[in-house]
């Protein structure tokens, strides 16, 4: 995989460099609530601009239906990127139309432009190779060189991620190089004990990575909504907690495999449970009880791990040399159900291990709960991409850069 430093050594002054970034930032009323993904791609964009490239930045945001939707405009991201770069960033109001062509044509050496949300064009996400390729052809007209640095999208076979690199000289940006390097530390020559913390709502989202990690991790700590399928599989009462009943046979198989392999698969021992899901907008005080994990009342739903589980999980992390965490262990968006996720994050910062926060909601939780990002070894920008890498899958965006 060609590096951006190799590309810079060849010279990029005056060249139009297309940077596929991941500016898929959360918005509330048009205001960015977490600019972490913009800051993550900043080193690549800044270095190219300093070298005199004419930088064309492209990304998706949200899930528009293949046509323009003002709610998913990249305009706020372009404005924030300009603030972080310390220069005005031009913004094209379309992807490959007149505005994009005019905006790119007007770029001077060392200047940066952002084109509108790639998913406003149906060709970006099309499963039809010809339609996707046609969109990639039009994107290629805007550039001389391609730099892939949108790690959060490399697991997608999309036009700007998979097809476009085949049409232009290409290299990997600093963010992708960093992300891949970190993930290699989790899959080869891992320092032990190796502890994995998995949370989130659906156990089905994590089954493939559990399958892979059962042969690699020393301990797997389970939390979040997915924990209740494990508890149900063990025959426990889980009330009205989130359950994927069709996954119970697979969960039972994994519990048996973990025991056979000597892998500690650790489940909650107590739970915060309530009859009502919390109000996440007004965030009014929640009403809950703390119960043993095998005695959740029939009319209540588990919403966070309890104090005994927080202490247990912290002790399982304390002596680790490597920790990978993906998924909050409770409804962290509400302060009354954030203590479990906060305890996991705190344990990571105190462990002395090489710690990786696996993107997505875990990364958002770390920032929302006020932790210093520098207290962690690495905070990934791609939750889904990280998981698929650990599952051993071929990621289209990385494969395209290696050709």
Residues 6+ apart with CB under 8 A from 358: 324, 325, 326, 327, 380, 383, 386, 387
**Helix, strand counts (H, E) of the chain:** 14, 17
Catalytic residue status for 281: no
Catalytic residue of the set 37, 119, 219, 342: 37
Q: Strands 145-148 and 170-172, how do they pair? A: parallel
Catalytic-labelled residue, pool 223, 239, 306, 384: 384
Is 384 designated active site? yes
E-strand stretches of 62-182: 90-91, 112-114, 145-148, 170-172
Q: Give Cα 300 distance to the centre of its chain.
A: 31
| Active-site residue (options: 202, 216, 308, 393) | 202
Is 36 designated active site? no
**Scanning the structure block, which residue is given the tokens 């070894």?**
377
Q: In whole angstroms, what is the distance from residue 398 CA to residue 393 CA?
A: 11
Q: Catalytic: which of 150, 360, 383, 397?
A: 360
Helix (H) or strand (E) holding 238: none
202 catalytic? Reply is yes
Q: Which residues pair with 378 in a beta bridge?
A: 356
**Chain centroid to CA 193:** 24
Q: Which residues are catalytic?
A: 37, 202, 360, 384
């Amino acid at each position: 995989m060609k590096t951006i430093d190799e590309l810079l050594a060849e010279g990029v002054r005056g060249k139009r460099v297309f940077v596929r970034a991941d500016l898929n930032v959360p918005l509330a009323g048009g205001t960015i609530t977490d600019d972490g993904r913009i800051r993550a791609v900043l080193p690549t964009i800044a270095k190219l601009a300093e070298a005199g490239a004419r930088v064309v930045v492209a990304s998706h945001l949200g899930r528009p239906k293949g046509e323009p939707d003002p709610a998913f405009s990249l305009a706020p991201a372009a404005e924030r990127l300009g603030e972080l770069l310390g220069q005005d960033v031009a913004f094209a109001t379309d992807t490959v139309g007149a505005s994009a062509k005019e905006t790119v044509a007007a770029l001077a050496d060392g200047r940066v432009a952002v084109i509108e949300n790639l998913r406003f064009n149906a060709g970006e996400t099309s499963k039809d190779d010809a339609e996707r390729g046609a969109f990639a052809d039009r994107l290629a007209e805007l550039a001389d060189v391609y730099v892939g640095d949108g790690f959060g999208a490399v697991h997608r076979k999309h036009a700007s991620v998979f097809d476009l690199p085949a049409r232009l000289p290409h290299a990997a940006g600093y963010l992708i190089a960093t992300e891949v390097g970190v993930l290699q530390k989790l899959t080869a020559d891992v320092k032990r004990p190796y502890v994995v913390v998995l949370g989130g709502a659906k156990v089905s989202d994590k089954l493939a990575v559990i399958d892979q990690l059962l042969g690699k991790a020393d301990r797997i700590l389970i939390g979040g909504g997915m924990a209740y399928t494990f508890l149900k599989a063990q025959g426990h009462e889980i009330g009205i907690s989130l359950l994927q009943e069709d996954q119970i046979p697979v969960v039972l198989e994994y519990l048996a495999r973990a025991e056979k392999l000597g892998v500690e698969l650790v489940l909650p021992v107590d739970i915060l449970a309530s009859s009502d899901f919390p109000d996440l907008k007004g965030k009014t005080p929640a009403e809950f009880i703390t119960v043993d994990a095998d005695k959740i009342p029939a009319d209540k739903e588990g919403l966070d791990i309890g104090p005994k589980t927080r202490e247990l999980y912290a002790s399982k992390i304390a002596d680790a040399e490597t920790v990978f965490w993906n998924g909050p262990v409770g409804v962290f968006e509400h302060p009354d159900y954030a203590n479990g996720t906060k305890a996991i994050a705190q344990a990571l910062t105190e462990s002395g291990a090489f710690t990786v926060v696996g993107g997505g909601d875990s990364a958002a939780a770390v920032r929302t709960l006020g932790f210093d990002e520098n207290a962690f070894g690495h905070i990934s920008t791609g939750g889904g991409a990280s998981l698929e890498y650990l599952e051993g899958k071929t990621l289209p965006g990385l494969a395209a850069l290696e050709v």
